[in-house]
Structure 1
Amino acid sequence: MLDDFVVRAALAGLGVAVATGPLGCFVVWRRMAYFGDATAHASILGVALALAFGVSVSLGVLLVAAGMAVGVTLMTGRRRASDTVLGVLSHTALATGLVAVTFVPGIRIDLTSFLFGDILAVRPIDLWVIWGGAGIVLGLLAWRWTPLLTATLGTDLAQADGIAARREQLILTLALAVTVAVAIKVVGALLISAMLLIPAAAARTVSSTPEGMAILATLAGAISALGGVALSFITDAPTGPSIVCVAAVLFAISLVVDQVRR
């Protein structure tokens, strides 16, 4: 029989997969891997600020991740956000957060859970946060699906269709910030980008439409989450990295399937 904490872990993993699956497709299409890293790494600074001001960690992560996402978007619009700048911002935010936590008075925490996730420690209230955030992300993507796709194809095409590409980029970055806030408990700041990229990359090789890719990416994320929880439960391995390892196996299988089809 499954223990309650295993059931909660499985539900939390499924909630993250629902958010990261379709959103990860846009990350892959727009080549935003570094962007996702910068937003995810900024979440550690959000943890430090939340502890310092005594507010919810999820709220602190959401605010800082959203600030980083909006800031990078504005820099991108001014043609100043190269991969180098994104890398600098990403690692600076992570290092600042790690240092800032040590200066919070009266707080001594193990940052490993925030870096690599602690899905087996998910509480019922965390499930509400995770699934609520996943619902917000799905709602945003469903509402703006066609404009987002058009803006992804090209700025000129979006303008010709009366779509503000900058606005769609902002919506996408806010969805990314929400995803980071709900996923940090499950896979941690260092592995969030992997959950955004790997399932979407696996789905890309075996899908023929954007909608099909989003569905397959969500399915791959769900299998990764459940498989990672099971692997961790059986072998006592870290759960967050186990989830990413299962996702990597699915990506390898997708490459084999693609070669067979060719």
Structure 2
Amino acid sequence: MIPDFMIRAALAGLGVVVAAGPLGSFVVWRRMAYFGDATAHASLLGVALALGLGVNLLGGVLAVAVLMALGLAAMSGRGIGADTALGVMAHGALAAGLVGLSLFSGRAVNIETYLFGDILAVRWADLAWIWIGALTVLGVVAWRWQAWLTATLSPDLAASEGIDPRREQMLLTITLAIVVAVAIKVVGALLITAMLIVPAAAARSLSRTPEAMAAGASAAGAVAVIGGLWMAWELNSPAGPSIVCAAVVLFALSRLRQLPG
């Protein structure tokens, strides 16, 4: 019989990958891997602020993500390269977040939980928030799908059709922050970028349409979640990293199919 905590863990992981699949496809298409990584790192500062101010964790992560996007736009307009600006803001926010979390000694804050996740400790209340966040992300992606595709293909074409590429970029950033917020307890801030990128990269070589890639990314993520949890159960390994390892194996298998002969 499957233990109750494993069922909750599986449902939590599936909730994350359902949202991360299509969103991760845009991260791959737009080559935003570094930006996704920066958002994940900055989320720790959002967690620290949420704990310090006693507000909802999602609100803290969203606030930091939006501020980071605005700061990036401001720094990029002053002759600073986007990669440099991202590096400064991401690592600065990560350091500030770790310092902030360490100050909550009286509240028994486990920093490793936010760094690497603790999917096996997910409660039913956590599960509800994860799926609310995942369904919200899916709703936004469905709403802005065509606009995001057009802006990804050609910002000039998007502008000619009345689509503001900067506005769509900001909305994509906020949606990305929601995924990070709901996933931080599952795989942690240091591994969420992998769950955005690796399943999408695995599905890319096997898909012929954007819609197929988005669906394939979610499917690959689901297989990685189940496979990673099985690995963690059998080997007594950490669940979050095990899920990422399973996703990497799927990516390697997808690339083997592309080899000649």
In which range does the TM-score fall when normalised by the shorter chain? over 0.9
- Give, in angstroms, the shift of residue 167 of structure 1: 1.3
- Give, in angstroms, the shift of residue 43 of structure 1: 1.1
Residue 259 (structure 2) aligns with: 259
Q: Return the letter of the residue paired with 1:116.
A: F
Q: Bigger shift: 60-69 or 17-26?
A: 60-69
Residue 164 (structure 2) aligns with: 164
Gaps of 5+ in 1: none
- Give, in angstroms, the shift of residue 75 of structure 1: 4.5
Distance 1:27 1:147 in 2: 15
Compute the TM-score of the two structures, normalised by the length of structure 2.
0.94
- Give, in angstroms, the shift of residue 202 of structure 1: 0.7
Distance 2:162 2:254 in 1: 37
Compute the TM-score of the two structures, normalised by the length of structure 1.
0.94
- Give, in angstroms, the shift of residue 76 of structure 1: 4.9
Per-residue deviation, residues 78-103 of structure 1 (Å, max 9, x unmatched):
76452122112111111111112222
Residue 178 (structure 1) aligns with: 178
Q: Return the letter of the residue paired with 2:71.
A: G
Residue 40 (structure 1) aligns with: 40
Q: Return the letter of the residue paired with 2:9.
A: A
Q: Bigger shift: 230-239 or 61-70?
A: 61-70
Residue 110 (structure 1) aligns with: 110
The answer on whether the counterparts of 1:73 and 1:170 sit within 8 Å (CA) in structure 2 is: no
Shift of the 66–226 alpha-carbon distance from structure 1 to 2, 3 Å rule, reads farther
Per-residue deviation, residues 169-224 of structure 1 (Å, max 9, x unmatched):
11111110100100001000000110011001111111111111001001001111
Residue 250 (structure 1) aligns with: 250
Residue 26 (structure 2) aligns with: 26
Residue 89 (structure 1) aligns with: 89
Distance 2:102 2:41 in 1: 17
Gaps of 5+ in 2: none
How many residue pairs get matched?
A: 261
- Give, in angstroms, the shift of residue 105 of structure 1: 6.0
The answer on whether the counterparts of 2:117 and 2:188 sit within 8 Å (CA) in structure 1 is: yes
- Give, in angstroms, the shift of residue 255 of structure 1: 0.2
Per-residue deviation, residues 114-161 of structure 1 (Å, max 9, x unmatched):
100100000001111111111111101100111100000111111122
* RMSD between aligned residues: 1.7
Distance 2:154 2:61 in 1: 31
Distance 2:201 2:36 in 1: 15
Matched, 1:125 2:93: no
Per-residue deviation, residues 209-244 of structure 1 (Å, max 9, x unmatched):
111100100100111111111111111100110000
Shift of the 74–176 alpha-carbon distance from structure 1 to 2, 3 Å rule, reads farther
Shift of the 76–138 alpha-carbon distance from structure 1 to 2, 3 Å rule, reads farther
Residue 150 (structure 1) aligns with: 150
Q: Return the letter of the residue paired with 1:92.
A: G
Residue 223 (structure 1) aligns with: 223
Helix, strand or coil at the partner of 2:252? helix
Residue 238 (structure 1) aligns with: 238
Identity of aligned residues (%): 60
Per-residue deviation, residues 26-80 of structure 1 (Å, max 9, x unmatched):
0001110111111101111112112212233333223323332443355456764
